[in-house]
Chains A and B, each alone.
Chain A
Amino acid sequence: MDHLFRHHSGKMVSVLTRIFGLKHLDIIEDAVQDTFIKASISWRKEQPQNPEAWLTQAAKNRVIDIFRKLKSQRNHLPSLSLGTDTIAINELFLDTEIEDAQLRMIFTACHPKLDPRDRISFALKTVSGFSIKEIASALLTKEDTIKKRLSRARKAIQKNDLKFSIPNGKLLHNRLESVMEVLYLIFNEGFHSNTKTQLIRSDLCGEAMRLCQLLLRRVAIRTPEVYALFALMCFHSARLEAKINSDNELLDLKNQDRSLWHFPLIQLGNTMMNKAVEIDSLSCYHYEAAIAAEHLRAKTFEDTNWKKLLYWYEQLNHLQPMPIHQLTMAVISMQNNEYSKAHAFFNLLKPNDFEQRAYLFYAAKADYFFETDNFNNALIYIDKALKTVTNTLEKNYLEKKKSNWLS
């Protein structure tokens, strides 16, 4: 029963959209919502033997309802007789076809005609069955903003008369990049939660992984980059449980109980990584996965191969130059006791480069000053970090660090 409704919602919305077309998405979403309300009330007393089959049957019944509703809106729709059309509709509810429909929905959510800012919200709503409230809290945004994003995405779909399909050839390549980016962002939002307290972070990670697995099931879409992205998610997820201790405090890599790392996920990540490297040119996802794997490889924090990590980061930053990579390289250089190198990396950076995560810059710089015996500056910078941090757990972490320094 775990997440049954959520997962089924994406399936039903996708299949019904395949039957009725994207322009009836509103009606379809209402109908699906309705089915769940019905189930949640009628199952209160007794759950059906096979809930999944119950829901699928309900979705099929909905097809007839939606046809009626649409027909009353406009009369030129074909009438749905119970003959061959029903057989065709049954076909669309086969497992492989459901997966196909869901993939179409993911690719639609990442269509270039949709504003990149709207894609994640739209995917979370239609493919993953999140409510507006849940999306707002996951993305640290107001509910009104999410509503606007969703309606803007719908309008873009209507206005451009988007087809509910997976593109081919060069188009597929470009669209797949956008799909991977959206999944990566969903995952990251779960892993580095910006929310004040925890909320649904592991849900987001799980959802991103589920969707990524959907991509891997299709031969045409199963590229080394997708394998690398999935490996990356496995490696990060393996550490999810260890990131927080029993007092709900955030633990850095140094203080994590490595025995809590989830070994099967590491193994799965390794398998995925082996498939991912059957290629000449490596992507950002490859390097990020390599970095995550390097951390997992170390038996203790002290065993971490920082030289290797710095190498991977250099490759990654070369491919995709980003302030956050340079900041990390500064931190790694400190681990290697190469303070002048760290200083050089810091000089490339400004707090504004990190927007709402400026506290990361301040905190790293505070460390730098502490390690180089500039205690006053260390305190100034950790206070700046404390002033800008949003997540309570991270704030507590920084406060603890500060009080350790003062004692």
Chain B
Amino acid sequence: MMIFIGADYAALGLSPEELQTRMGKWFAWGNKMEQAGILRGGEALTPQVRRIVGENRTVSDLASAEIKEIVGGYYTVEAKDFDAVQAIAQDFPDYDLGGTVEIREIMVFDR
């Protein structure tokens, strides 16, 4: 699973043209994974966050001030190992906006 963190478009003041260009890159990346037959799923997440923490169940709403922490979405892909996913993650479009890709392996349990 590739988890996308940071790069909240709303906080960056991008122009419509810039947004469209960026969307095109995401689209191309998705197509590439689909054509390679490795894409299994994925969703975009809205930036609103509600977090419940600790014994007191403290509730907080994270505003976009903490954009670094916001997970913007994820893709699940099927690949041989970390290196293969790292290679496909080279095309992640938002590195230049300070975005991060986190790669995690989904654990498969024996039945």
Please state if B42 and A40 are interface contacts (CB–CB under 8 Å).
Answer: no
B106 located at the interface, meaning its Cβ lies under 8 Å from any Cβ of chain A in the complex? no
In this complex, how many residues of chain B approach chain A with their Cβ under 8 Å: the count is 20
Q: Of A41, A42, A44, A134, which is within 8 A of B15 by CB?
A: A134
Q: Which chain B residues numbered 2 to 37 have a C-beta less than 8 Å away from chain A?
A: 9-10, 13-20, 22-24, 26-27, 30
**Known A-B contacts A34-B10, A45-B42, A45-B44; A40 and B15 likewise in contact (beta carbons under 8 Å):** no
Q: Which residues of B contact A131 (CB under 8 A)?
A: 13-15, 17-18
Q: Which residues of B are found within 8 Å of A9, using beta-carbon distances? A: 15-16
Contact A43 B16 (CB under 8 A): no
Distance A130 CA – B14 CA, assembled complex (angstroms): 9
State the majority secondary structure of interface residues on A. helix
Q: Which chain A residues lie closer than 8 Å to B73 at the CB level?
A: 41, 44
A36 to B23, CA, bound (A): 10
A190 at the A/B interface (Cβ < 8 Å)?
no
Contacts of A33 in B (CB 8 A): 10, 13, 16
- Contact call B30/A5, Cβ cutoff below 8 A: no
Query: Do the beta carbons of B27 and A6 come within 8 Å of each other?
Result: no
Q: How far is the CB of B101 from the nearest CB of chain A, in Å? A: 14
Q: Is the CB of B20 within 8 A of A5?
A: yes
Cβ of B20: which chain A residues have Cβ within 8 Å of it?
1, 3-6, 36, 40
Q: Which residues of A have CB within 8 Å of B13?
A: 33, 131-133
- Provide the bound-state CA to CA distance between A133 and B15, in Å: 9
Q: Is the CB of B19 within 8 A of A5?
A: yes
Chain A contacts of B22 at CB under 8 A?
40
Cβ < 8 Å to B, chain A residues 1-44: 1, 3-6, 8-9, 32-34, 36-37, 39-44
A129 with B17, Cβ < 8 A, contacts A37-B10, A45-B30 known? yes
- In contact, A40 and B17 (Cβ under 8 angstroms): no
Contact A36 B19 (CB under 8 A): yes
| A-B contact list, 11 entries, CB within 8 Å | A3-B17, A6-B15, A9-B15, A36-B16, A37-B10, A41-B9, A41-B73, A42-B44, A131-B13, A131-B14, A134-B18
